[in-house]
Chains A and B, each alone.
Chain A
Amino acid sequence: MPTRTQVGVIGSAVLAPRNPERASLEEAQHAATHAALRDAGLTIEDIDGIVVAGCDQLDGRAITIMMSSGSVGGVGRDIMSTPSSAEHAFVLGALRVRSGMYRTQLIMAWSPLEVDDVSATQRLGTDPYFHRPLPLDDLSSHALQANALEARVPGLREAAVAVTEKNRRQGSRAYPDYSPAPLQSKLIAGGRMLRWPITEGMVAPPAYALVALVIADGDFIAERKIADPAWVRGMGWATEPGFLGDRDLATLPSLRSATEQAYREAGIDLQRPQFDLAEVADATPYQELVALEGLGLCPRSQWVEASRRGDFAAGGRTPVNLSGGALSFNPVYCTGLMRIREAANQVRGCAGTHQQPKVRTAVAHGASGFAMQYNTVVVFGREPLEQVQ
């Protein structure tokens, strides 16, 4: 088998404008691009191609990625867009570098808050005949998934509350400017019910943010003497069917498929995966638990016990969402790419106040769509795959 081109994350940025009315989305894109390039020590002239992801409905524009032409440095460059999800932008960028046709890629996704009603916008994503009158938005779909899981796993609610409490505690340490204050278990469980069984404390309100990453191939990284990249050792992505009625919402076979792709590529034992940490989808705490199972880190039979023991808290067996996850900061459309960035930065050793010491491997998981329709898994390491093998 020919040697595979190695891909590393060498720069990143998150921008969460505090006064969005004073800066247009294009200006924010421009600022995020510059910040990511600065972090990578590159200029736009070093970038061969760009993959962006935006959501037309949230942005209030048809073909929203058009506006990014100038602001992300796309004029005269190759811009591609994956509106299916922000995570897919990372996957496509990495594939483009691996193909040998590009040495570098800039990847960006954004999630503005300019629409009057996020829920109504999400309802446009349902088929017009069967589901749209329900009404079904992202949160309703996540709640249906939580219901299906609660019906199968005794004591699950206790684990969901513990996950929420953990992530909000971790989020308030990692990003005190963005994240809400920690919340006691009692207040999480007994809070206002949004969509049963999801309480107000179990989700973070939608936020405005942009996330950008810079990736490059191994030769470029060596030539530029770029220190401490996060090497992509494995990637997997897969989808569930579109109609919720066609799915068993208590299972997530597409995540299993994505995990198998990523672990096989990374040479990781599917039965006994080991990572220094994980960043996983957690639009609700139930998502984090189902993600841990899909990634082979914790079967559902152990969710309650593992949560009680703090296996996935800072200092536990495998810390999960040290960033606080989407439960602490929720730029709706970008959360998957945020998880990928967080895991990469932990491996690069630049995660900031929530940096875990001696991180050598990390796994990121992003989910998008109703009840986690799309699942993407990325395995990062301090060394490229070839050296490990």
Chain B
Amino acid sequence: MKTPRVGIIGIGQSDYKPRRADANYPELVREAVKLALNDCKLGLDDMEAVVYSLAPDALLGIGNAERLGVDAVGARNKRFMRINTGGSTGISSLAAAHSHIAAGACDVALVAGADKVGECGDSQTILNKIWDTTYERPLPLGTITMLAMSAVRQMHKYGMTEEDMARIVVKNREHAALNPHAHLRERTSIEEVMNSRMISWPVKLFDCCPQSSGGCAMVLASEDYIRRNKLEAVWITGVAHSSESYFIGDRMGIGYTADHADAQALGEACHRAYRMAGVTDPVAQIDVAELYSPFSNTEYHAIEAAGLAKLGTSHKLLKDEGWFKLGGRVPVNPSGGVLCANPIAITAMVRVAEVALQVWGRAGGHQVKGARRGIASGNGGDHQFFGAMVVEA
């Protein structure tokens, strides 16, 4: 059976900030919902289902905090479920909403969430609790140390340098300066990144994403509904997920199942999404990419997993030819990406929202000229769950 087309008709984003003392958690969700509904000129009563995007409960300090968000998203007596795949939750929630509509369960679905990462205390202490209680939690692993090990492997395997990592930061900050929603909007230089505080070698403070607060919501609809109501839309033409193993130790050493330098399952997810969308040559057919990269080094292997550069070559293509800058061959993270705003529960939704705005021609100051087709990705767990989505005008 051919999967029916699903369109994106509304997008709402907060301005991401280190704290939002003016809004509690449900209010932050509501803020994004209101923006998304205004964007598509529909009301809460038009929403037939809600998929709630919320990553670890522990970041909010409330178990099953989605229960408190039910009224914020207008879901009372409606279809409602929460998705959590860690950092990829936002794109996974969109995939779940896509399934609602493609299955014919409803014509219109709202996907919404928010996070207050900057107000959680210490996110690394919380995120240490994602690991196995016996083997890996006591190391102690955090998401920074986990991906610093990936950076070391990238340096060894592909010759990536600390300056190459800094170049990603400089690029993304340049992009974020043009995006009013971004959290970190100040331009920087390679020297400034190199001189920033060492966090976990070779990852320095400026190589890391911030802890952001904010909300994001999107409205998805069936093609039939969009045509019937003469709505503007862009289309989800490819959607897929894939996963790696849980144990970091399975990705390094003798007999590893996937190389920690790369993002093997992200590659699988992108490949499946491309196949669904009919994309055979990503470099030629993809105009823009928003790839989930919370640390500078991970943007390189995300670019390669998305087929936008050959394995181990992306750092050279950025350095020598500026491929991934705005105005380059395939601009990557024109919004500034995760490096410039990371409200975890919705970060991967923002990637899709930004690609949708790009192919819609509504990205404002960071618009990629003439973008018609883009790819978005999300990473979750311990670099374990990966989602990819192709969006087209």
Contact = CB atoms under 8 A, between A and B. Distances in A.
Interface of A: 2, 4-5, 49, 55-57, 60-63, 65-70, 74-85, 88, 91-92, 94-96, 98-101, 121-122, 124-128, 235-243, 246, 253-254, 256-257, 261, 369-370, 373-374
Interface stretch (B91-99, B193-201, B211-219, B277-285): B91-99
B57 A242 contact: no
Interface string B53-78: 00111110111101111110001111
A69 B245 contact: yes
Contacts of A238: 77-80
B81 A91 contact: yes
27 contacts: A56-B56, A61-B133, A63-B86, A66-B86, A67-B246, A69-B243, A70-B246, A77-B242, A80-B85, A80-B92, A82-B83, A83-B64, A84-B52, A95-B100, A98-B103, A98-B105, A99-B102, A124-B57, A125-B63, A127-B62, A128-B62, A237-B81, A240-B76, A241-B71, A242-B67, A253-B77, A374-B80
B102 A62 contact: no
A94 to B, nearest CB: 8
B8 interface: no
A121 B63 CA distance: 8
Contacts of B57: 56-57, 62, 83, 124
Query: Which among A2, A84, A121, A238 has the highest number of chain B CB atoms within 10 Å?
Result: A84
A80 to B, nearest CB: 6
Nearest to B239: A101
A237 B80 contact: yes
Given A79-B241, A101-B3, A246-B71, A66 B246 contact: yes
Contacts of A65: 84-85
Query: Which among B56, B244, B385 has the highest number of chain A CB atoms within 10 Å?
Result: B385
Q: How large, as a class, is the contact surface on chain B?
A: 35 or more
- The 7 A-B residue pairs with the shortest CB-CB distance, nearest first, are A98-B103, A99-B102, A100-B1, A125-B63, A84-B82, A124-B63, A78-B241
A5 B104 CA distance: 10
B64 A125 contact: yes
Contacts of A246: 71
A231 to B, nearest CB: 15
Contact of B385 (A60, A79, A254): A79
Contact of B129 (A61, A79, A122): A61
Contacts of B385: 66, 69, 79
Interface of B: 1-4, 52, 55-59, 61-64, 66-71, 75-86, 92, 95-96, 98-100, 102-105, 126-127, 129-130, 132-133, 239-247, 250, 257, 265, 268-269, 276, 380-382, 384-385
B68 A257 contact: no
B250 to A, nearest CB: 8
Nearest to A73: B243
Given A124-B63, A242-B70, A253-B77, A100 B102 contact: yes
B78 A75 contact: no
Nearest to B60: A128
Given A61-B130, A66-B384, A242 B71 contact: yes
A107 B95 CA distance: 17
A98 B4 CA distance: 11
B99 A92 contact: yes
B142 to A, nearest CB: 12
B104 A4 contact: yes
Contact of B70 (A77, A79, A241): A241
A11 to B, nearest CB: 21
Nearest to A99: B102
B393 to A, nearest CB: 22
A84 B66 contact: yes
A63 B380 contact: yes
B240 A78 contact: yes
Nearest to B272: A78
Contacts of B133: 60-61
Nearest to B93: A80
A111 to B, nearest CB: 14
B81 A82 contact: yes
Given A84-B64, A241-B71, A374-B80, A74 B130 contact: no
A81 B83 contact: yes
Query: Which among B63, B99, B257, B384 has the highest number of chain A CB atoms within 10 Å?
Result: B99
Contacts of A261: 79
A369 B244 contact: no
Contacts of A94: 103
Given A4-B104, A56-B57, A57-B63, A63 B84 contact: yes
Contact of A239 (B76, B84, B98, B265): B76
Contact of A5 (B1, B64, B100, B380): B1
Query: Which among B2, B82, B243 has the highest number of chain A CB atoms within 10 Å?
Result: B243
Nearest to A100: B1
Nearest to B97: A95
Contacts of A253: 77
A126 B63 CA distance: 7
Contact of A99 (B3, B56, B67, B81): B3
A88 B67 CA distance: 14
A85 B70 CA distance: 14
Given A63-B380, A95-B100, A76 B243 contact: yes
A56 B66 CA distance: 13
Given A5-B1, A253-B77, A374-B80, A243 B68 contact: yes
A254 B385 CA distance: 32
A98 B70 CA distance: 26
Contacts of B62: 124-128
Contacts of B247: 70
A154 B79 CA distance: 33
Query: Which among A4, A5, A56, A257 has the highest number of chain B CB atoms within 10 Å?
Result: A56
A287 to B, nearest CB: 17
A112 B240 CA distance: 30
A95 B99 contact: yes
B103 A95 contact: yes
A75 B382 CA distance: 13
A66 B382 contact: yes
Contacts of A78: 240-243, 269
Contacts of B241: 49, 78-80
